[in-house]
Structure 1
């Protein structure tokens, strides 16, 4: 999708006013054939009328080709994965069979990338069918006194939520402005920006919904099929309450208020909410029960909330009829498993737990004597008589002693008591309760463990959330340092090249001087090479000396440069040597200091004569290779200068890409960590609920076990012996 240039990490979108200005010329701003030249709905000032939202403005336009009316949504801020989300939502809604829906709430829409031009940029729009309907709050303004119509609308709203749940769809922002009521009193659902469909699983939400309809525990990371559950309960409660008592609309609703009957403050602080207290104490048992449910759900995680469809069965009449007995009770019955008492009998409790205590208490006394009991009763007097006789006749020293008959009677009595049904029942109940208790963890230890795990998790999560912006800041700082280094290298290289380019003129002059000096030197050498010593000898140099000079290679003024004196230590004398053009000194017989001076003077005269006629400037042809060389060097330096800027730009682009990749990586890691944290918090919430249930179960089992133990103690051996002879 061509989204045009971005500013920073997010693209800037036009404001609603800028869109309105562009829509004055729909022939020019639109590129879609059905919208090109469309007629917008205008305000009294003749300007396109916007309906502004959180991050978009909606305009009503009538197509000149089809004559159909559309709602065109123009986005005023960036939405992550915008096109992907709308494509997934559009594809999912397109699969819905209208015949399977409770009402035609689904409005067709089309996401059009680059469909509208504002200034020099093109932006996406959302083209949706126009619904001839009014918002829910406007409908209630006009119809709240019609109890039957409001109650019917409440049922249709529940059917709408049932449609969404059955197709694994969540709207994400159920509220009065997104629920429209058509002329046939059926509902239309608009604004699909935050909608969840299965194809978007794993992505985060783009909004948190209207604050007066959302759970206080809904966070930025919540995005799934359970998004609508709390707001569904809130809306359903409001509609059922108004259907029961129309005056509640005037009492609890404010004119043009952004809510129905309850606001965000009523959910976050239910104890101090006058509105919620009004509904909690309402004489209609359904209204008070629903209000109690909303109060309970406001402090539970979203994934723990029951869907509205569980509380409202298909047979609506069964759920709404109040019997004479229940009407007399006035207040709602105690909640069972998290659902209000008025729902009892209609839906199975979500959190119901098996009763730990036995349904029938074990007996705490013996009932009817059995033949075995009679035998035990007869045995005791007999064994006592035997013991007395043994003592009387002096058998106390017998191997088994006189106590044997008594021990036998006691053992038989213990056996007879163990065969009693009362004893067996009590032991069985106590054994079962003890076994169940052994299966449960100690609630105190389990709670302490959960608390420590949660505290440790929150410390780690606090550190992680604090580390994320620090990591982003570190990444940005590193990027800025890299940009500074790139700019320093660019400036240093440019300065170096600029200095070389600026020095090309001096190089030209220097090269010209070198070339002219070489030309003059060559000219002088040429002239000196034509001055033969033999033809025009200096004073004192005869033919013989000239021949000797020629023999050693000195024929012209160009063959030597002068002379130097040489000290001869052997003879303690001073001689001279002629200095050749290559710098080597030679001795020439007959050339002493006088003649050497004459030769040097002769040569100086010839040099002066040559210098007088030497060239003083280069010809154009001689300057041409110098100029060409300088221009070649200038072009090379200019290329290097351009490459310096190009290399710096490439380095900046690379650094920017590394920054974006780093940010994207951090964002992905943070999103994954946030999702893990969200799941962990949900797991903590589930464990807390389970622990609460287990704690209650543990307490109930402990109490039942103590009661069973008390029953068992009342069935002691002494009680049994008393029962044998008294029957009680």
Structure 2
């Protein structure tokens, strides 16, 4: 089929169902030798199985000649310049050297114009290489708990996008359904309808890609090498996040959901996105860093988006801290708070205590004699000589008096030594270091306290994390219970109404029968009421008895129903009483058993005559009135039955709303708790770094105190006396 000009009406393509019908006879609809007579995969109903998309339906066919299996794409919508596009794409992919690719992601295909006959027209198809693989989302369903495998797949995906970028190719619709994972966990890329290659520059795009993977700023006319950049960041971030925390798959992904972790709404309204906030507040800095990057890219023009290679910044060198011999030990350069090296510079630095430099002015000896030192040095010999003279004179002096000059020399030396500035410097240095050391917490105790706090926190977080899915399960269980109850109520009400509707036929029959019976009874009563005893008296009933009967209330055949015999004991004879229509018994003078029998026979004849003449059927108006009443009843019941489903749907909607509200509440609470946990973990990291600094400073200060005390030995009394006479 030839594609018309841009101004011509767009050709109409068959539906997927029409293709499926044609493919039931592949020996008739195909011309291609490998497709003629090919066996399609069939559904349980025996129809060719289709995988339908926005522009085409794909069928799996096995060639009858070669036994090769192919994926045959049958187009259901018009695509401008379709043949030209596929020729350019095919030529560009054919020039790729598979040995230079990170993995064999590109599949061979052949565009076949006029390949399939549907009705009276022929249409093009795309014959593609079949690959045994699963979609990315299906693979994650089965493998998300394998952190190593997911991380490896993320790197392979990054390599695939690098292949595309290096060859100036853009797929145009990177998403979970177009990324297949083969048995060796390498990726295959399918669906090349919207692919960009350099030979197609200047043409417009044919699609906007899956909405849950595209930038909110992507338009219908965007078509260039940058098409895949936003979706590549989204997929890479999702894979790295799942690799870091496999629980994110079940927390953020929905079964059979058309996304991985985030949707279109998360990109267009990040402030109200629970999923994005969960990733942004995640304690793993790789996850939060990539999520922040995706959030910032969502509102940048496509031509300004960076390639995915920027997701792995170059290693940064952390500044090292130099120390003096008396200062604290150097803190190792590397990641602060346990961050990966490549994240250094991309997350806020952890705050730590400001190291306090230890004084380094403690002297290790005396320097420079003062006048007082010289005087002391001169007085020492004089005082010792005086003590010698006193001893040699042999004067009877107390020992204390004789040793007074020596004591004076010792005291003078001690006094001048205490006045030396070196002593004050050493004392000040030691006091300063001791004071600094006293302000620091014991590193061992602080580390143990931090460890216990972290263990308690992580235990609480583990308990909270375990409780979250249980609460979700409770909400879901309650939801399903309410649905079950609503369904049972619907079935019960419908069954009751159906039973009533089914009984309307019998109800109509009974109503018609009763109406006819009532009409006949009314006719008979009317005829009985018209036959007066006085006008046509029974045999043996004269005017006198007729008058007596009338006086007793019996004027016509309708006024009595029969008689009863009574025994007259006084006269040893049998009499009779008449039974009125209301059931009352009356005794009429002159009416014995014989005349009562005559009256009863007369009445029976009148009844028989009336019954013989009574109507045998209802009139059309009477029957129609009854039928209309039953019809109204049927309509009411039908309306009631119809109202059951909306009422049940309202109950379902109410249950769904309660579930959604409960899940939203749980999600908000879980997100807030997660954010708080993230902040607490950051605080633990900050305290860990501070503890490292504190430990290093504590060690350095302790060493400095020991050093100052060692130097003070150079300022001893003996060393001072030596200094007085040697200057050293």
Task: Tell me the TM-score normalized by structure 2.
Answer: 0.57
Distance 2:74 2:198 in 1: 12
Question: Any residues of structure 2 matched to 1:623-642 within 5 Å, and which?
Answer: 623-642=623-642
Whether contact under 8 Å (1:476, 1:659) holds in the other structure is yes
Whether contact under 8 Å (1:479, 1:656) holds in the other structure is yes
Q: Greater relative contact order (Cα 8 A, min sep 6): structure 1 or 2?
A: 2
Partner of 1:423, secondary structure, is: helix
Distance 2:345 2:413 in 1: 58
State the match for 1:127 in structure 2.
Answer: 222
Change (3 A) 1:620 1:457: same
1:68 aligns with 2:202: yes
- Of residues 310, 329, 339 in structure 2, which corresponds to 1:300? 339
1:223 aligns with 2:318: no
State the match for 1:435 in structure 2.
Answer: 435
Cα deviations across residues 524-577 of structure 1 (Å, max 9, x unaligned)? 111111221222223443322211111122100101122346789999998654
Cα deviations across residues 416-466 of structure 1 (Å, max 9, x unaligned)? 444321111112222222222233222212222222222222222222333
CA drift of 1:705 comes to: 1.6
1:703 aligns with 2:703: yes
Distance 2:463 2:505 in 1: 64
State the match for 2:556 in structure 1.
Answer: 556
Q: Give the gaps of 5 or more residues in structure 2.
A: 1-50, 59-70, 92-109, 112-125, 129-168, 179-191, 238-262, 297-305, 318-331
Partner of 2:89, secondary structure, is: coil
State the match for 2:694 in structure 1.
Answer: 694
Task: Tell which deviates more after alignment, 227-236 or 532-541.
Answer: 227-236
Distance 1:356 1:445 in 2: 23
State the match for 2:183 in structure 1.
Answer: none
State the match for 1:681 in structure 2.
Answer: 681
State the match for 2:90 in structure 1.
Answer: 43
Distance 2:419 2:267 in 1: 65
Whether contact under 8 Å (1:229, 1:307) holds in the other structure is no
Change (3 A) 1:59 1:670: farther
Whether contact under 8 Å (1:482, 1:655) holds in the other structure is yes
Partner of 2:367, secondary structure, is: coil
Task: Tell me the TM-score normalized by structure 1.
Answer: 0.57
State the match for 1:356 in structure 2.
Answer: 357
Partner of 1:590, secondary structure, is: coil
Change (3 A) 1:72 1:549: closer
State the match for 1:367 in structure 2.
Answer: 367
Distance 1:570 1:371 in 2: 178
State the match for 2:493 in structure 1.
Answer: 493
Distance 2:726 2:567 in 1: 164
Whether contact under 8 Å (1:23, 1:29) holds in the other structure is no
Distance 2:223 2:669 in 1: 36
Question: Any residues of structure 2 matched to 1:99-118 within 5 Å, and which?
Answer: 110-112=217-219
Partner of 2:450, secondary structure, is: helix
Change (3 A) 1:554 1:463: same
Whether contact under 8 Å (2:479, 2:655) holds in the other structure is yes
Distance 1:593 1:431 in 2: 148
Distance 1:643 1:173 in 2: 47
Whether contact under 8 Å (2:337, 2:685) holds in the other structure is no
Cα deviations across residues 598-653 of structure 1 (Å, max 9, x unaligned)? 33333223222222222222121221110010000011111111111222223223
Whether contact under 8 Å (1:59, 1:72) holds in the other structure is no
Distance 1:706 1:483 in 2: 77
Whether contact under 8 Å (1:372, 1:416) holds in the other structure is yes
Whether contact under 8 Å (1:577, 1:585) holds in the other structure is yes
Q: CA RMSD in A?
A: 5.5
Change (3 A) 1:566 1:489: farther
Partner of 1:223, secondary structure, is: helix
Distance 1:53 1:642 in 2: 46
Whether contact under 8 Å (1:516, 1:618) holds in the other structure is yes
Distance 1:654 1:529 in 2: 66
